[in-house]
Amino acid sequence: MTLAPDLQSQPFAEGVVGSRSQTERATQLLRADIVDGALVPGLKLKLEMLRDRYDIGAAPLREALSRLAGEGLVIAQEQRGFLVSGMSIEEAHDIGELRLMLEIEALRSSLRLGDDQWQTRVITAYHWLERAERTASPEDGHLNELERRNLNFHEALVSACDRRWTLHLRGIVFRQHERYRRLSRIHSRKNRQVSEEHRALLDAALERDEDAVVAVITTHIRRTTKAVTDALKSLGAESQTTCDD
């Protein structure tokens, strides 16, 4: 008896879907741990260690590592596996300026095309971000929630942009920048009012004032770069002191 073609292909199709879902899960978990710093810069990503950590097979993990290499979060070494990309002052400046350039272009387009639905999304995203900023601290585990709300707010601001490649490249750079933003949040909480910068960005966006939006986002991103630079210098000095001791 011959099975119908759709029934014959069902187990294969389910296997493909299952493999894809495992790859997606591995990608998300690895990306989160790299951005959070749980997998530190320069760490060699051995498959045995990753299998134990995530309970995911080698094939999905390899595919996930290849994807993250494409995003710049992982470095693929020929015949030697993968390792977590490093962090440096030079890269912080480069990523910050690249994000700024893409952010400005996406914001200009979004401000021109945004409708009432866009405005509602921006206001709602800001409301939740403002709540997260009032309660977040590195010690109580709220930093992930804060970063998620920060992402939602900035995504809302550019959501009316119709430039697909600008948004695609912006998304890649935004994820790279997230590693540095987290470092800046931890090391600049006492001397920087990020919530005020977000409020100024909201007000300028709702007024559709492109020049004001560009000025605010430029200050916002470059202050982050400075905070990261100061943090990396401090960490480098601490590391050198430890070595000297």
Give the residue extent of every domain in the chain: 5-84, 89-244
DSSP for residue 44:
B
- Which of 161, 22, 231 is CA-nearest to residue 30? 22
What percent of the chain stands above pLDDT 70? Answer: 82
Q: For 124-133, 135-144, 162-171, which range has the lowest pLDDT when averaged over its residues?
A: 135-144
Report if pTM > 0.95. Answer: no
- Report the CATH architecture of 89-244: Up-down Bundle (1.20)
8 Å CB contact between 64 and 23: yes
- The two structure tokens encoding residue 220: 């916002």
8 Å CB contact between 43 and 74: no
Q: Which long-range contacts (CB under 8 A, 24 or more apart) does 195-203 make?
A: 195/130, 195/133, 195/134, 197/223, 198/126, 198/129, 198/130, 198/133, 198/153, 199/126, 199/130, 201/157, 202/122, 202/123, 202/126
Identical fold, 5-84 and 89-244:
no
What percent of the chain stands above pLDDT 90? Answer: 60
Confidence of residue 69 (pLDDT cuts 50, 70, 90): very high
Q: Is 5-84 assigned to CATH 3.20.20.70?
A: no
CA distances from 195 to 69, 191, 219 (A): 33, 12, 13
